[in-house]
Structure 1
């Protein structure tokens, strides 16, 4: 317990100093004026010690990594097991000597007053213990403002451009400011009538889209589109079937950004075949390997994973020409050579209509299909159904058609609209990806 009559104790300390001085006037002792807390720590929480930062300038002590949800039922009675000072510490009102063998309630900030050994100097610290109010591993969804109050015909496609969320239909463009997208404006989209909406790709903050006749158009503002002559159908008959994705520049590897696609081109026998290709400058395509028959060519969704050796791995999912029993992702490092992540084990992702892969919170997730189940994977090969926390709302079941994008704030945007469905906008995020870093 805290020792009462602190002033009486301090008086005794001064009396003992004075007596010592009188008994031996030749030995003068100088006492330190150090009022800093040199080390601070709490007892374990769920078996773990959490690091605390001591800000001597501001007089603040806090944990940079918030404690897990529910820790407030532990810190209501917890020991401060490390408190290193040169002098002594008091706390409370009235001011009493602080005893580290007593448990304290840290659900709210407390003040500690450090007294120097000289008995003259002192300094106050505020101890604040940060606790998450949300389960970090839960995926939370919220319905947002619909992009249109009237139903649209055909399909739609959502992309991000700068700080905006853009939803395209065959003729219209709906745009809103991130991160809330609370107010939408509508205008003509400016796209060619035969544009492949599901193949719009953002490359270096410029949008690119192919057409059904093999041309490619680009736009920096989302409404004014220009034909890219070097990327469009060429005199030899080669043309772009679909755009796959883009990969950003890698400063560590000193590699530029690029856009990759699938090109239809006559092979050496004169037969039209499909090839992977990429462009670094937007002026022409560099040809790669031939596209396997089971590679996705429609509704392609792409995600990126930084690797341990500072490379970027591009992973995609999509719809192949022939439906398959399993949903198999494909990956590349350079855009011109691809490999599948298929497995012969029972831990596979079932076949889905319009599957969307994301690398999110250090795991792979496969969304889409009928929106009843989400599958996750550590490596992208073995897949397992999520059983808790990372789930869809029940109302998502069987909603179609959809499109999806993830913004720079780690929000997942799911858009439904077209072919008779309501124009709904939903935003979801894994709680821990929204926590502020201290």
Structure 2
């Protein structure tokens, strides 16, 4: 540790006088001075926060006319002390707009060592008291001295404030006309993500082909050439699901699987003629609509019928989305949600749900048709596309079907109760430049493991990508040992 005696001349003199007085009264009292110095805790009090708009600018007032400032309870934000690097910081940053120019903080030091704060513009040290406010717009240096006055330790203290609004986002558009040059030719598309890649299967009117792109690289989309001679049917794009790192596809009565969209293997399906449409997968099983209702499979080969609690004639027949929602109360349990169109549906889309308990050897749960509240149902829309994102379900779609008055791609809908009720989203909006007058079968949405949302429009050869800011913030290390 560094050595410095000057700041302690008066301190030691006072301590010696106190010790002398104590010895006069009781020679049995002894004072021990320690040679080590460290800060052991740090916290801040109540802070002021100004609300910001989506551009990060301070608001003069909120939309309801109330004050545009509020307070933040700083005690809820834990500060990490890295004794090796001698750094103190809050791993969970304060909300954007929080003022840190006048902060009252509390701290503790080892063996009650004395603490000083270095001034921002010089090396002058000021004695720290818990009543003074400190400017933390930049990192500050706190110095703690050992009680014997022989050593000290400096800490760089930083109060972190988010630069971005937690729920703000920006859509980024990419042109893919190099792969989709013949606008108007394409009849359907399904976009999906697996591992480090995002894929799109496109119906060009005669066949289905695969596009692929790395999620986090800057390369352009490229077409994937399959290794099999089989021509994928135009409807193959509707029959795609991913499980355990494999892409499964049903085409022309044949099941294939692939790790990368290029190298495909034949899957020997028992009773493949019974499968009508491959719809999705849970964490351990594929699901398909069959001639008799629904079936599941752990490997794509052996399929087992799944019970239905509802009219099988109301199973979705078009624009089917399949989402897995982890249970918030039970570990190892998911809620499966299947949404789509049905010729027998009215103004609302059909929504089915099922509990998936991964601890069960035999599946004891059935698929149930949701009977929703009329005013809170998801509108029946052409080209429905539903994804799980940020703990909710989000849906988009084209023009209303079955008497629904929904306008094409005018609104994002969300459900926070696993598909039971639906509401118009005021937090998220679709890309401003996304076309609304396209064939809804040529527009599809998905999410990836990095919390990105992807939308592809095959009709206009465009792809959009976005992520809300807080889902991209890193979780930092908060525990250290010397």
TM-score class, shorter-chain normalisation, is 0.7 to 0.9
Residues 112, 196 of structure 1: alpha-carbon distance in 2 compared, 3 angstrom cutoff: same
- Decide which moves more: 357-366 or 122-131: 357-366
The equivalent residue for 2:456 is 415
State the TM-score, normalizing by the size of structure 1: 0.84
Query: Matches of 1:15 and 1:202 in 2, distance apart?
Result: 75
The equivalent residue for 1:79 is 104
**Ranges in structure 2 where 5+ consecutive residues have no aligned partner:** 48-70, 357-362, 399-407, 477-482
- 3-state SS, counterpart of residue 106 of structure 1: coil
RMSD, matched Cα:
2.6
- 3-state SS, counterpart of residue 79 of structure 1: strand
Is the Cα–Cα contact under 8 Å of residues 279 and 285 in structure 1 kept in the other structure? yes
Is the Cα–Cα contact under 8 Å of residues 145 and 181 in structure 1 kept in the other structure? no
Displacement after TM superposition at 1:322 (Å): 3.3
Displacement after TM superposition at 1:294 (Å): 1.8
Query: Matches of 2:467 and 2:294 in 1, distance apart?
Result: 33
Residues 365, 223 of structure 1: alpha-carbon distance in 2 compared, 3 angstrom cutoff: same
Among 257, 277, 282, the alignment partner of 2:295 is 277
Q: Are 1:115 and 2:110 an aligned pair?
A: no
Displacement after TM superposition at 1:33 (Å): 2.9
Displacement after TM superposition at 1:167 (Å): 2.4
The equivalent residue for 1:130 is 160
Query: Matches of 2:220 and 2:244 in 1, distance apart?
Result: 26
Displacement after TM superposition at 1:437 (Å): 0.9
Among 188, 203, 223, the alignment partner of 1:186 is 223
The equivalent residue for 1:230 is 269
Q: Are 1:246 and 2:262 an aligned pair?
A: no
Is the Cα–Cα contact under 8 Å of residues 5 and 150 in structure 2 kept in the other structure? no
CA distances 1:129-166 after superposition (whole Å, capped 9, x unpaired): 22212211234311134263513522233233432222
Among 20, 35, 38, the alignment partner of 2:37 is 35
Residues 303, 139 of structure 1: alpha-carbon distance in 2 compared, 3 angstrom cutoff: farther
Query: Matches of 1:70 and 1:192 in 2, distance apart?
Result: 56
Is the Cα–Cα contact under 8 Å of residues 199 and 300 in structure 1 kept in the other structure? no
Among 318, 321, 330, the alignment partner of 1:309 is 330
Q: Are 1:288 and 2:302 an aligned pair?
A: no
**Ranges in structure 1 where 5+ consecutive residues have no aligned partner:** 1-5, 249-256, 265-273
Query: Matches of 1:161 and 1:15 in 2, distance apart?
Result: 70
Query: Matches of 1:148 and 1:333 in 2, distance apart?
Result: 43
Superposed, 1:21-420 pairs within 5 Å as 24=23, 28-45=30-47, 46-48=71-73, 49=75, 50-71=77-98, 74-80=99-105, 82-85=106-109, 86-92=112-118, 93-146=123-176, 148=178, 150-151=181-182, 153-154=185-186, 155-169=188-202, 170-180=207-217, 182-189=219-226, 190=228, 192-194=231-233, 195-211=235-251, 213-231=252-270, 233=272, 238-248=273-283, 257-264=284-291, 274-289=292-307, 292-307=312-327, 308-310=329-331, 311-334=333-356, 337-369=366-398, 370-379=408-417, 380-387=419-426, 389-398=427-436, 399-400=438-439, 401-417=442-458
Query: Matches of 1:346 and 1:281 in 2, distance apart?
Result: 40
Displacement after TM superposition at 1:205 (Å): 1.4
Query: Matches of 1:22 and 1:430 in 2, distance apart?
Result: 64
Query: Matches of 1:20 and 1:40 in 2, distance apart?
Result: 29
| Aligned residue pairs, count | 404
- 3-state SS, counterpart of residue 313 of structure 2: coil
Residues 317, 180 of structure 1: alpha-carbon distance in 2 compared, 3 angstrom cutoff: farther
Displacement after TM superposition at 1:68 (Å): 0.9
- 3-state SS, counterpart of residue 12 of structure 1: helix
Residues 159, 366 of structure 1: alpha-carbon distance in 2 compared, 3 angstrom cutoff: closer
Is the Cα–Cα contact under 8 Å of residues 363 and 376 in structure 1 kept in the other structure? yes
Is the Cα–Cα contact under 8 Å of residues 247 and 257 in structure 2 kept in the other structure? yes
Residues 172, 216 of structure 1: alpha-carbon distance in 2 compared, 3 angstrom cutoff: closer
Residues 231, 324 of structure 1: alpha-carbon distance in 2 compared, 3 angstrom cutoff: farther
Displacement after TM superposition at 1:297 (Å): 2.4
Query: Matches of 2:299 and 2:238 in 1, distance apart?
Result: 23
CA distances 1:60-96 after superposition (whole Å, capped 9, x unpaired): 111121111111xx2122211x212212111222122
State the TM-score, normalizing by the size of structure 2: 0.77
